[in-house]
Amino acid sequence: MLTDIFLHLVTKYSKDQALANNLWLEIFTKYSEPKRHYHTTIHLENLITDLKEVQGQITDRDSMLFAVYYHDIIYKASSNSNEEDSAKIAEERLGEIGYPADKIAKCTKMILATKLHKHSEDADTNLLTDADLSILGKSPDEYLKYAEKVRKEYVIYPDFVYKPGRKKVLNHFLEMEKIYKTDYFFNRYETQARINLQSELEEL
């Protein structure tokens, strides 16, 4: 699914099949890095599945999809600039296929928005950041597996370093007036997300 969607997307803007294949190979390789446990191709598949539920609300589907594929292409537990670095790669790669400059700008802004997940004036961006956080509102078992995978990604840090940082992240979401900015995701996930986040916070 991921391969077909991406290649079809790229060939709308470039007839260079070798380039399209290389871009997909780069994405697949990055998301398959051994240090990744949650931010993998499965995360991308889940995002696309979630966004199918609101596809009628998406105004720029191509930019949304490119943002999905590139939003975590760079993911290092030791870095504070993953989103910025991912946006830069997206900007470069989309430029290579001749994607319109205004749409590249929108795509990079969407990727940057996944850093803090704040409310955006752009409706597509809110849908993307909400889908990115859908795992927070899944069943307690699914959430627990997610939390365990995130901990594995930060294995380089001992508990006395990891736990305070994780608590900061959890509180960041709990202190939001609304974790989810769109009606669909708010109605579906908000209540359970707060239960899950609070539960993990109490366990740390």
**90 and 109, same structural domain?**
yes
**151 and 120, same structural domain?**
no
- Name the band, by pLDDT with cuts 50, 70 and 90, for residue 32: very high
CB 188 within 8 A of CB 136: no
* Percent of the chain residues past pLDDT 70, beyond the cut: 100
* Percent of the chain residues past pLDDT 90, beyond the cut: 100
pLDDT digits (tens, 9 = 90+) for 124-170: 999 999 999 999 999 999 999 999 999 999 999 999 999 999 999 99
**1 and 90, same structural domain?**
yes
- Position 66 scores a pLDDT of 98
- Position 80 scores a pLDDT of 94
The mean pLDDT value for 50-69 works out to 98
Final residue of a structural domain among 71, 106, 132 = 132
**79 and 57, same structural domain?**
yes
CA atoms within 13 A on the CB side of 101: 0
**62 and 19, same structural domain?**
yes
Final residue of a structural domain among 77, 104, 132 = 132
What string of H, E and C letters represents the secondary structure of the chain? CHHHHHHHHHHCCCCCHHHHHHHHHHHHHHHCCCCCCCCCHHHHHHHHHHHHCCHHHCCCHHHHHHHHHHCCCCCCCCCCCHHHHHHHHHHHHHHHCCCCHHHHHHHHHHHHHCCCCCCCCCHHHHHHHHHHCHHHHCCHHHHHHHHHHHHHHCCCCCHHHHHHHHHHHHHHHHCCCCCCCCHHHHHHHHHHHHHHHHHHHHHC
pLDDT digits (tens, 9 = 90+) for 89-104: 999 999 999 999 999 9
pTM of the model: 0.96
- Position 39 scores a pLDDT of 97
**13 and 76, same structural domain?**
yes
Distance (Å, whole) CA 129 – CA 186: 12
The mean pLDDT value for 61-84 works out to 97
Quick one: which of 178, 175, 156 has its CA closest to 167? 175
**145 and 59, same structural domain?**
no
Domain that holds residue 186: 137-204
- Position 178 scores a pLDDT of 96
Looking at the structure of the chain, the number of domains it has is 2
Distance (Å, whole) CA 141 – CA 143: 5
**7 and 93, same structural domain?**
yes
**174 and 121, same structural domain?**
no
**167 and 94, same structural domain?**
no
Final residue of a structural domain among 132, 156, 184 = 132
**114 and 33, same structural domain?**
yes
Distance (Å, whole) CA 134 – CA 146: 11
**148 and 123, same structural domain?**
no
- Name the band, by pLDDT with cuts 50, 70 and 90, for residue 24: very high
- Name the band, by pLDDT with cuts 50, 70 and 90, for residue 199: very high
